[in-house]
Amino acid sequence: MNTPQSSTLHNVLAGLMRRYQQRVPDVAHITTIMQREGLINRADDIENDHIAFRTMGVPQLGIQSLEKIFLHYGYERREKYHFAQKKLDAFWYSPPTPQFPRIFISELRVTELSATAQRIITQYTDQVKTDPVLALNLDDAAAVDGFLHRSLWSLPTYAEFSTLMGESEYAAWVIYNRYYLNHYTISVHNLPNGYDTCAQFNQFLKHNGVQLNTSGGEVKQSPDGLLLQSSTVAEMIEAEFAGGEKHMIAGSYVEFAERRVMPAYAHIAKTDITRAMRREGFEAGNADKIFESTFSSQTAVRQPNLNGNLPAASPIHPKRPSVKTALPGPRAQAALAREAAVMSSSNGKGIPIVAERGNGVWITDVDGNEFLDLMAGIAVSTTGYAHPHVVRAVTEQAQKMTHMCAAVFPHDPVISLAERLSAKLNNNYKVFFGNSGTEGIEVALKFARYHTKRPNFMAFTGSFHGRSAGSLSLTASNPKYRKGFGAMAYPVTHVPFPNPFRPPLGSSAATCGDAVLAHIQHLFKTSCAPEDVAAIVMEPIQGEGGYIVPPPGFIQKLQALAKEYGILLIMDEVQTGVGRTGKFFAFEHEGIEPDVVVLAKGLASGYPLSATLFRKELMTWQAGAHGSTFGGNAVSCAAAHATLDLVERELTNNAAHVGSVLMNGMNELKAEFPRLGDVRGRGLMIGLDFVKQAGGNCEDGELRDRVQQIAFEQGLLVLSAGPSAVRLAPPLILNPAEAGVAIEIMANVLATAMR
């Protein structure tokens, strides 16, 4: 029955949804793909299961205030829910008639927070002196609509927002957003067969590039098995704080609910099932995990926009670089002049950028130019810049203890990190912590010599293992690294790397792996006695050498050859490890476990840390044989734990998924620009190799340098590798939309560079 009150409620809900759709691009995207798939004819066909609101539990606001609106329209308050860990209470409300959605209102128990958090919150909420709903004419839909979208207090500062993030992400979300609506929920059980369960609908969403909340599993299920829920992950949006400061924060999300038929009605045909026959109410365990759709543990992979299959007609536009000055800008030029005057001339000279700050996958330089970063500080910033989970972990550890020389006086962060890394290799390895990749290699070399009592090593041309004395003995990617330093510290025999694009030793792409193995056998018989070789050191994908992937099966055969002669296999995972290739270790793609593994770079999201892992049965060296004052620093270990949280939860899979988006896009460009001779890599470790002539493989370093420079000028940061390649190694939080922006910019770059 259509009464004036129901008409007012309809208009209020319509206003909520209109603004919600504007704020949450996933709504338009999901509606569009449902229409495209034929699940609905129009948006109004979607049944809205419930609308959820977040509030602050302060006297003049919170549930007691907001519920007055819906109680006035005939809603009935139902069960109460208590969330101990998140410090939340909630009620759900049944609608006056089945045509309207349920309502779910949660509030933060502010008085249970720290004194600092309470002070921050109340200095804003105290700006609201009385219950604002009391002043509303609830029969005036326009007035209610305006209230529900009006800012109740002033913009917070980013510093205060960050402080709240460290204690309650719910509190931070509400203190910034300042509007009540959090999300709406699509009822999936009334969709066509094949899409009418959460599991089936989730598969449809993922196929169309929608990122799902995985906290507690993608599908959250009530103990009785009758209420199943899932949700998207909130996208990261650019938010302006007090003083004009801008940062990326979590927006909102879309939820999905499957309410199964209660057992008493199981015999009734689906077409005859009514709402009253399905499971009613909510489930605290489900809601607890749904809340996390805006938490940093989930939003790590949603910087700042949506997904790869966004329809062309959608109004949503991913963020783009913004270059406001000639490059380098005036402030950058001044900084570079100062750097030249006081810093070592040995430092490499790349693109002339002087960064001031980073957020997500975006770098802002000292002149205010904003760049999309596909370098990640040379594959270091795994979780992007200023990731809240990492920042919080580092801050908490720094407040407890920064340093205790873990090699002599161990502490829990370093012990638990060693346990965590060893567990990735079936707990068969022990760990030594250092500060950098080159330190990790030095440890591996000393260890291999000590254990085998052999003096020599074998490595590959094109390899990069560091520039300290021992690791430099292995490095063979550029003669400038060795020039002027005389004899190397270790005797190393270098053999060609099996590069399918430029096959060595007169081989082909199909036979280059076997050709290199035959060459090693030849050396063993003629000039390099295998019984004198302590270890073969290899990058599973060459980094500095050009992001070169060896042919399938080569690493397995190399390990078998090494074992035949009692030679250790050392895998340098400094650049490839920690999820970058779509697996935690790149050697997992080849189904092996090496004798020694070296990790660094992305292990701690920019904090100095390396980890060298040795098989336990090889641990023959004595106490004091090696050590490090700073290795395993407590703050760096905290950063590593936070990094692994994100890598294990989402980022390894994201690297595989978004890496395929980026790889496919670059291969399309290769077809359009044939002097992009090769596109190769795994996950978010992709190499673009440039050639002098279409169809050939003759290196064109000049074209590569031109591409790198033009990309910089267009706001895209990429890095050179090898004689003629550009490497793409973005933070693992890169999402498909950002990958799409990178592909679009690279298309413009190649068109300009190849004129």
Q: How far apart are CA 499 and CA 539, in angstroms?
A: 13
Q: Which conformational region is residue 132 in: left (phi greater than 0), alpha (psi within -120 to 50 degrees), or beta?
A: alpha
Residue 614 lies in a domain: no
Question: What does the alpha-carbon distance between residue 90 and residue 106 come to, in Å, rounded to a whole number?
Answer: 4
682 residue type, one letter: R
Please report which confidence band the pLDDT of residue 177 belongs to, taking 50, 70 and 90 as the band edges.
confident
Task: List pLDDT tens digits, range 405-461.
Answer: 988 899 999 999 999 999 999 999 999 999 999 999 999 999 999 999 999 999 999
Q: Are residues 295 and 342 in the same domain?
A: no
Dist CA 170 CA 252 (whole Å): 12
Rounded Cα distance, 742 and 737, in Å: 9
What is the per-residue pLDDT for 207?
Answer: 83
Angle between helices 169-177 and 158-167 (to 10 degrees): 150
Q: Are 102 and 186 part of one and the same domain? A: yes
- Does residue 328 have a cis peptide bond before it, meaning omega lies within 30 degrees of 0? yes
DSSP tag of 633 = -
Task: Give the residue-averaged pLDDT of 251-258.
Answer: 92
Residue 81: inside a domain:
yes
Which helix (H) or strand (E) segment is 357 a member of? strand 355-359
Domain end, chosen from 277, 299, 321, is at: 299
Average pLDDT over residues 511-533: 98
Question: Residue 336 maps to which CATH number?
Answer: 3.90.1150.10
Cβ count within 10 A of residue 148: 18
pLDDT tens by residue, 80-114: 999 999 999 999 999 999 989 999 999 999 999 99
Look at residue 178 and tell me whether its pLDDT is greater than 80: no
DSSP string, 176-229: HH-SSEEEEEEE-TTSPTTSSSHHHHHHHHHHTT--B--TT-SSEE-TTS-EEE
| Residue 193 burial class via C-beta count within 10 angstroms: exposed 0-12, middle 13-18, buried 19 and up | exposed
Last residue of a domain, one of 253, 281, 299: 299
What does DSSP assign to residue 649? I
pLDDT at 148 over 70: yes
Query: Which of these three, 281, 299, 317, is where a domain ends?
Result: 299
From CA 503, how far away is CA 458, in angstroms rounded?
Answer: 20
Query: In terms of Cα–Cα distance, which of 244, 191, 235 is closest to 40?
Result: 191
Which regions of 172-316 does DSSP assign to beta strands (E)?
181-187, 220-221, 227-231, 236-240, 246-250, 253-259
Q: Number of helices (H) and strands (E) in the chain: give both, helices first.
A: 22, 25
Q: Say how far apart CA 461 and CA 519 lie, in whole Å.
A: 13
In this prediction, residue 751 carries a pLDDT of 94
Among 165-179, 193-207, 363-377, where is mean pLDDT lowest?
A: 165-179
How far is it, in rounded angstroms, from Cα 540 to Cα 240?
43
Pair (32, 142) in one structural domain: yes
Using H for helix, E for strand and C for coil, what is the string for 559-624?
HHHHHHCCCEEEEECCCCCCCCCCCCCHHHHHCCCCCEEEECHHHHCCCCCEEEEEEHHHCCCCCC
Q: Residue 280 maps to which CATH number?
A: 3.10.180.50
Residues 372 and 246 in one domain: no
Distance CA 152, CA 140 (A): 19
Per the structure, the complete domain to which residue 242 belongs is given by 4-299
Query: Is 184 in the same domain as 235?
Result: yes
Based on the fold, state whether residues 226 and 351 are members of the same structural domain. Answer: no
186 shares its domain with 254: yes
Q: What are the tens digits of pLDDT across the range 201-229?
A: 999 898 888 889 998 889 999 999 999 99
Q: Does residue 535 lie within any of the structural domains?
A: no
Nearby residues of 656 by Cβ (< 8 Å), 6 or more positions away: 582, 583, 683
Q: Is 716 helix (H, G, I), strand (E, B) or coil?
A: strand
Task: For strands 456-460 and 492-495, give the pairing.
Answer: parallel
Average pLDDT, integer, range 12-30: 80
Q: Has residue 214 been placed in a domain?
A: yes
Q: How confident is the model at residue 15 (pLDDT cuts 50, 70, 90)?
A: confident
Residue bearing the bigger pLDDT, 348 or 534: 534
* Cα–Cα distance measured from residue 252 to residue 173, given in angstroms and rounded to the nearest whole number: 9
Half-sphere exposure of 721 (CA within 13 A, CB side): 29
pLDDT digits (tens, 9 = 90+) for 306-316: 333 332 322 23
Q: List the structure tokens of 430.
A: 């022990």
Q: Are residues 238 and 334 in the same domain?
A: no
Mean pLDDT score across all residues of the chain = 91
Which range (236-245, 436-445, 541-550) has the least confidence? 236-245
* C-alpha distances in Å from residue 263, one per residue of 258, 266, 280: 15, 5, 13
With 90 as the cut, is the pLDDT of residue 237 above it? no
Please state, as a whole number, how many other Cβ atoms lie within 10 Å of the Cβ of residue 671: 9
Token pair of 439 as six digits: 């330190």
pLDDT surpassing 90 at residue 239: no
In a domain, 315, yes or no: no
Q: Is a pLDDT exceeding 70 seen at residue 76?
A: yes
- Rounded mean pLDDT of 648-660? 89
Q: What angle do CA 242, 248, 254 make, to 5 degrees?
A: 115
Claim to verify: residue 222 and residue 73 sit in the same structural domain: yes
* pLDDT at residue 11 in the model: 87
In a domain, 51, yes or no: yes
Structurally, how many domains does the chain consist of?
2
Q: What is the pLDDT of residues 637-652, one digit of tens each?
A: 999 999 999 999 889 9
Radius of gyration of the chain (CA): 29
Rounded Cα–Cα distance for residues 363 and 186 (Å)? 37
Tally of residues, the chain: 755
The Cα 260–Cα 360 span in angstroms is 40
Residues 274 and 138 in one domain: yes
Q: Between 312 and 38, whose confidence is greater? A: 38
Q: Which tops the pLDDT comparison, 318 or 215?
A: 215
Look at residue 614 in the predicted model and tell me its pLDDT.
96
**Looking at 211-215, 316-320, 551-555, 576-580, which range is the least confident one?**
316-320
DSSP string over 698-713? -B-HHHHHHHHHHHHH
Contacts of 274 (CB under 8 A, 6+ apart): 98
What are 328-379's pLDDT values in tens digits? 999 999 999 999 999 999 998 889 999 999 989 999 999 999 999 999 999 9
The amino acid sitting at 118 is Q
Nearest CA among 635, 658, 673, 657 for reference residue 741: 658
What pLDDT, on a 0 to 100 scale, did the predictor assign at position 305?
37
Question: Which secondary-structure segment (H or E) carries 79?
Answer: strand 76-83
pLDDT, tens digit, for every residue of 683-726?
999 999 999 999 999 999 999 999 999 999 999 999 999 999 99
- Do residues 224 and 369 both lie within one domain? no
Task: State the CB neighbour count (10 A cutoff) for residue 689.
Answer: 27
- Phi, psi of 408, rounded to the nearest 5 degrees: -115, -40
- Residue 184 within any structural domain of the chain: yes
Q: Are residues 154 and 211 in the same domain?
A: yes
With respect to residue 417, please indicate whether it lies within any of the assigned structural domains.
Answer: no
Helix (H, G, I), strand (E, B) or coil at 99: coil
The answer to whether 385 and 375 are in contact (CB under 8 A) is: no
